[in-house]
Amino acid sequence: MGKVWLVGAGPGDPDLLTVKAVKAIQQADVILYDRLINKEILTYAKPDAELIFVGKLPKHHFLQQDMINSLLVKQAKQGKQVVRLKGGDPFIFGRGGEEAAFVVRHHIPFEVIPGITSGIAAPAYAGIPVTHRDYSASFAIVTGHRKEGAEEAEKWQALAKGIDTLAIYMGVSNLPYIQKQLIQYGKDPDTPVAFIHWGTTETQRTVTATLSTMTDTARLEEVKNPSMIVIGDVVRMRDELQWFEESSEERRLHETMV
């Protein structure tokens, strides 16, 4: 019997991969990897490791989740060491819990290796601390794929009034709804907002707005997926603390001059 590792590949910068994740990748016979991982991470794999792309685009899945689950079990039952390599952290909007439960039902040993999630890392690389003594004593990780309904209304009310900083995943296509719900349930329309595209990578781009202007700004600035949306007063710290995009631009200018 083989084994399955659910491995978090981190937010994009390959240097943020954990040591334990590297060790798992190095010993894997099979690696099932997602669209959002940095392909440099795959260079840690053995030369004879089988690399299987199972990535998902918005509204288009290369492989359906049920097929991925079955593939994990099939490979492990062949006695292989299987790494399921997922962007960010396996248990934060990565369906890692579903995959873990599936392999357990088939009596296959597994291990979870957490990864740095983009809800924390992307803001940090954009100069935005998700908590701050003066601005934020609470922080929530939220999916942008929310729909209308009585229970959802209660949740939006809690998010709008009870949480200082929101990190919203997969929300670019649902911006008008997110904006409407937060304002409707009491979030200050002047609350700062940041869109961080491809956070922690060399192509990172950050666009700022307010809650009242976020949808129009995203359209005008052509904000695309994958982008982390950060809503809260901590976004004000960016003017003082931004470091990564400036240093990246300096490196590009230096390389051009050389």
Active site residue ranges? 34, 56, 170
Cα separation, 166 vs 128, whole angstroms: 12
When computed from its CA atoms, the radius of gyration of the chain, rounded to whole angstroms, is 20
Cα separation, 240 vs 235, whole angstroms: 10
Complete DSSP assignment for 75-123: HHHTT-EEEEEESB-TTSSS-HHHHHHHHHHTT--EEEE----HHHHHH
Determine phi and psi for 61, rounding to 5 degrees. Answer: -105, 125
Do 31 and 2 contact (CB within 8 A), yes or no? Answer: no
Complete DSSP assignment for 207-225: EEEETTTHHHHHHHTT--S
Cα separation, 2 vs 22, whole angstroms: 19
Instruction: List the structure tokens of 186.
Output: 């009491």
